[in-house]
């Protein structure tokens, strides 16, 4: 059985002129405008990787810490971890389980099942002023956000595009964070290779390739994490024609997880 | 402080005609020949990502299970996990610690500190016959292997190339494996972003980007894991001019690890 993915050169293009995003902005309009001004042609199977931050901002997920009243549990955990109790309140609201905590760090499983530090809440690249202490939450339903963007882009461009919402997430055991897919539409987040044959015709045993995470990492090389201001990346040349699997398919079933 | 990485289009090219590799083959000669036949020009800062399997094969890391005599401990662990005791013997030889085991799976920390299933020992893409039951171990010192290849390529091409040896490795909590850097030379495996500023001039808190893992994942999109036979990938357009950090820099210090 041959590979389902067509192997050619993969090209990863930054969209150079995405403006700062505010609540209510229509990302699709902004992306299409940028695609045109960058003189890109969209084709079926092209993939757009969009940084979580601009999706969250467009969805109004900024929260002013000054308006948060922490619960007793948040105050206790804040004391234990030496974190702001209002931020801890938000972290717990976004999570179904606290996995680990130490000074300065709370690792949780969020409502989508993703395990990450501080529920992905961040205040880098969030405008601050004296009136507000703003932090940015992850999108409420990243697979749903990706699906909406995928559908709108299909309606407006006629192209069936893969859409990945990525965030930079830490891992167990390894230093540094890597681009990781938290929302996926229009492509399978994971490829099942079982039954495929190796070079010698032996059946493969290991078996699943998390291509959406690999694409999210590839895009992260361009997006950077600081002042690059390149939140949208276009990937051409990696085409898979299998059915859509959302990012929820990347979350290991708790019954099969040896590390929870 | 501006980014140290130059942002442009990143291109990921397969080297199309790498032959099957055998013990003692000179990978540098094979890669240079392929670069020429593919009509690529090498430049300083280009990155070669090389699949672990061909590095291991060239280094003679094939082992015939028929020649392995399992220890008592290996026989016990094999019984517990329903695995071949000779394979378990090899897994334990390659490891400093068993992290988890269940039926069919032993997760270990290998001598380099990498946590992975079955110590990365594999028999896909390994030739089998009636005389031998061959399995392939990881390179003994992947950072050293990468360094040797980097130096030889510098001597023979005059170009200062990044070299990453990657393998497809599973993760805690998430389904599927992803391309991961096990050997790195000629580029920093990890970027320290501390002190960099975000779009609003705030100092970044989160802080380290595991770029070698992101590059390893990007390459994996082309390498595939089955019959693609594309073990070497050339990445152009991602340039970092910081000092080399080997893949050992990606292993979290055990004292700082919340998951060990």
Q: What is the 3-state secondary structure (H, E, C) of A53-69?
A: HHHHHHCCCEEEHHHCC
Give the span between the Cα atoms of B99 and B115, in whole angstroms: 8
Q: Which residue reads 């340039």 in tokens?
A: B239
Give the span between the Cα atoms of B250 and B208, in whole angstroms: 10
* B227·A199 Cβ contact <8 A: yes
Are A10 and A235 spatial neighbours (Cβ–Cβ below 8 Å)? yes
Residue B243 is classified by DSSP as P
| DSSP labels, A87-139 | HHHHHHHTEEEEEEEETTEEEEEETTS-EEEGGG-B-TTS---SS--EEEPPP
Give the span between the Cα atoms of B147 and B152, in whole angstroms: 9
Mean pLDDT across A90-115: 95
Tell me: pLDDT of B140 over 50. yes
Are A79 and B238 spatial neighbours (Cβ–Cβ below 8 Å)? no
Q: What is the pLDDT of residue B1?
A: 30
Q: Which residues of A touch B7 (CB under 8 A)?
A: 14, 222, 224, 228, 230
Are A231 and A23 spatial neighbours (Cβ–Cβ below 8 Å)? no
Q: What is the pLDDT of residue A170?
A: 94
Torsion of CA A105, A109, A115, A118, to 10 degrees: -30
Q: Which residues of A touch B5 (CB under 8 A)?
A: 221, 224
What mean pLDDT, rounded, does chain A reach? 90
User: H helices of B119-226, where?
Assistant: 142-157, 211-223
Give the span between the Cα atoms of A62 and A54, in whole angstroms: 11
pLDDT band at residue A247 under the 50/70/90 scheme: very high
Instruction: Nearest by CB to A250, from B174, B206, B230: name it.
Output: B174
Give the span between the Cα atoms of B149 and B165, in whole angstroms: 10
Give the span between the Cα atoms of A111 and A125, in whole angstroms: 24
pLDDT band at residue B115 under the 50/70/90 scheme: very high
B224: left (phi over 0), alpha (psi -120 to 50) or beta: left
* B172·A257 Cβ contact <8 A: yes
Q: Which residues of B touch A39 (CB under 8 A)?
A: none
Q: Which residues of B touch A136 (CB under 8 A)?
A: none
- Cα–Cα distances in angstroms (integers) from residue B215 to residues B12, B55, B178, in the given order: 10, 18, 11
CATH topology of domain A6-59+139-256: 60s Ribosomal Protein L30; Chain: A; (3.30.1330)
Q: What is the pLDDT of residues B201-213, one digit of tens each?
A: 665 565 799 999 9
Give the span between the Cα atoms of B29 and B27, in whole angstroms: 5
pLDDT band at residue B122 under the 50/70/90 scheme: confident
Torsion of CA A26, A27, A29, A32, to 10 degrees: 180
Q: Provide the residue ranges of all domains of chain B, joining segments of one domain with +.
A: 5-59+140-253, 62-136
Which architecture, in CATH terms, is B62-136?
Alpha-Beta Complex (3.90)
* B218·A222 Cβ contact <8 A: no
Are A144 and A165 spatial neighbours (Cβ–Cβ below 8 Å)? no
Tell me: pLDDT of B136 over 70. yes
* A107·B2 Cβ contact <8 A: no
Q: What is the pLDDT of residue A228?
A: 64
Give the span between the Cα atoms of B128 and B135, in whole angstroms: 9
* A224·B5 Cβ contact <8 A: yes
**Percent of chain B predicted with pLDDT > 90:** 77
Tell me: pLDDT of B3 over 70. no
Q: What is the pLDDT of residues A200-211, one digit of tens each?
A: 666 556 579 999
What mean pLDDT, rounded, does chain B reach? 90
Q: Which residues of B touch A205 (CB under 8 A)?
A: 124
CATH topology of domain B5-59+140-253: 60s Ribosomal Protein L30; Chain: A; (3.30.1330)
Give the span between the Cα atoms of B191 and B207, in whole angstroms: 8
Give the span between the Cα atoms of B138 and A247, in whole angstroms: 30
Q: What is the pLDDT of residues A150-201, one digit of tens each?
A: 999 999 999 999 999 999 999 999 999 999 999 999 999 999 877 666 666 6
Tell me: pLDDT of A73 over 70. yes
Are A221 and B218 spatial neighbours (Cβ–Cβ below 8 Å)? yes
Q: What is the pLDDT of residue B47?
A: 97
Tell me: pLDDT of B242 over 80. no
Q: Which residue reads 């594999």 in tokens?
A: B122
* A250·B176 Cβ contact <8 A: yes
| DSSP labels, chain A | ---SSEEEEEEEEE-TTPPPP-TT--HHHHHHHHHHHTTPPP-TT-EEEEEHHHHHHHTT-EEEGGG----HHHHHHHHHHT--HHHHHHHHHTEEEEEEEETTEEEEEETTS-EEEGGG-B-TTS---SS--EEEPPPSSHHHHHHHHHHHHHHHH----EEEEEEEE--SSBSSBEEEEEEEESSBSSEE-TT-B-TTSPBP---EE-HHHHHHHHHHHHH-SSS----EEEEEEEE--SPPB-GGGGBPPGGG-TT-
* A225·B214 Cβ contact <8 A: no
Q: Which residues of A touch B176 (CB under 8 A)?
A: 190-191, 208-211, 213, 250
Q: What is the pLDDT of residue A254?
A: 83
Are B175 and A252 spatial neighbours (Cβ–Cβ below 8 Å)? yes
The size of the A-B interface in CB pairs under 8 A is 242
Q: What is the pLDDT of residue A178?
A: 97
Q: What is the pLDDT of residue A3?
A: 42
Mean pLDDT across A231-250: 91
Q: What is the pLDDT of residue B87?
A: 95
Taking alpha carbons only, the member of B94, B247, B108, B107 closest to residue B180 is B247
Angle CA(A192)–CA(A224)–CA(B189) in degrees, nearest 5? 70
Pick among A210, A249, A260 to test the B interface (most B CBs inside 10 A): A210
Are B34 and B2 spatial neighbours (Cβ–Cβ below 8 Å)? no
- Which chain A residue has the Cα nearest residue B182? A174
Are A247 and A52 spatial neighbours (Cβ–Cβ below 8 Å)? no
Size of chain B in residues: 260
Tell me: pLDDT of A1 over 60. no
pLDDT band at residue A259 under the 50/70/90 scheme: confident
pTM of the model: 0.94
């Amino acid at each position: 059985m041959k590979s389902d993915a067509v192997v050619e050169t993969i090209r990863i293009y930054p969209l150079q002129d995405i403006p700062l995003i505010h609540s209510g902005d229509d990302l699709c309009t902004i992306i299409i405008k940028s695609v045109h001004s960058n003189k890109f042609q969209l084709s079926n199977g092209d993939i757009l990787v969009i940084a979580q931050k601009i999706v969250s901002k467009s969805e109004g997920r900024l929260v002013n810490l000054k308006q948060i009243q922490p619960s007793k549990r948040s105050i206790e955990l804040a004391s234990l971890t030496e974190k702001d109790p209002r931020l801890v309140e938000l972290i717990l609201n976004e999570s179904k389980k606290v996995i680990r905590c130490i000074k300065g760090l709370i690792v949780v499983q969020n409502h989508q099942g993703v395990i990450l530090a501080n529920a992905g809440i961040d205040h880098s690249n969030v405008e601050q002023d004296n009136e507000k202490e703003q932090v940015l939450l992850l999108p409420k339903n990243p697979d749903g956000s990706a699906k909406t963007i995928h559908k709108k882009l299909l309606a407006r461009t006629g192209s069936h595009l893969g859409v990945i919402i990525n965030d930079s997430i830490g891992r167990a055991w390894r230093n540094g964070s890597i681009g990781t897919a938290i929302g996926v539409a229009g492509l399978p987040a994971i490829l099942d290779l079982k039954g495929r044959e190796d070079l010698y015709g032996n059946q493969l045993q290991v078996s699943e390739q998390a291509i959406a995470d690999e694409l999210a990492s590839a895009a992260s090389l361009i997006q950077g994490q600081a002042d690059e201001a390149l939140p949208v990346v276009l990937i051409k040349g990696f085409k898979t024609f299998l059915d859509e699997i959302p990012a929820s398919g990347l979350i290991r079933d708790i019954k099969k997880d040896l590390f929870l």
